[in-house]
Chain A
């Protein structure tokens, strides 16, 4: 079974731009979560989607948004990029909302200049 895939793997943007990241979960998985990983803060939860509905949201500003499609693929969008948004963005999928083992993708490395 193919793992979680994330595209693109690397991205360089400038302040003020917006970016869209994509995540394809493991086949059959219906839950997708997004995390921001930085050296100082570790992994911080962004949001979790299940069956196209956002079930949980972390403490991030409204510039961070996401969505999930009927095939469980998910996208997250960051508008008006700031230097502090530079991070590794990880996507994780799990079979169900309350099935707690998450399978992580390789991440998208976003650099904001």
Chain B
């Protein structure tokens, strides 16, 4: 079955630390990949997405992600986190071929300590 794995369930960082959240997907075919963020009390919103082309994708608020097809990975990175980045981050994949649903990972809660 198609799946998305996020291995870090809870991450605690100090401000200015670098961030990398892991995401792995299971499907070997064409896949569209997303990172969503849910700030406390707010809606889920799109951080960035990869459909094709340059595997290094830049999103909002200084986030970026790299698609590595050989590793089935789409890790999220930010060089220097801020307290305002405290949120839950979800990786998601939509596998191509017909009408395919979006599959979400279980999420990573990031807590940034001032």
Contacts and interface: CB of A to CB of B under 8 A. Distances in A.
B102 A45 contact: yes
Contacts of B36: 104
B49 A101 contact: yes
Interface centre among B32, B36, B45, B102 (most CB of A within 10 A): B102
A98 B102 CA distance: 11
Contacts, number: 52
B16 interface: no
A70 interface: no
A43 B103 CA distance: 8
B106 A100 contact: no
Interface centre among B45, B49, B94, B106 (most CB of A within 10 A): B106
A64 B100 CA distance: 19
Dominant SS at the B interface? strand
Interface centre among B32, B36, B44, B105 (most CB of A within 10 A): B44
Interface string A40-60: 111111001010000110100
A35 B104 contact: yes
B34 to A, nearest CB: 7
Given A101-B49, A104-B45, A33 B102 contact: yes
Interface of A: 3-4, 33, 35, 40-45, 48, 50, 55-56, 58, 90, 92, 97-98, 100-107
Interface of B: 32, 34, 36, 43-46, 49, 51, 90, 92, 94, 99-107
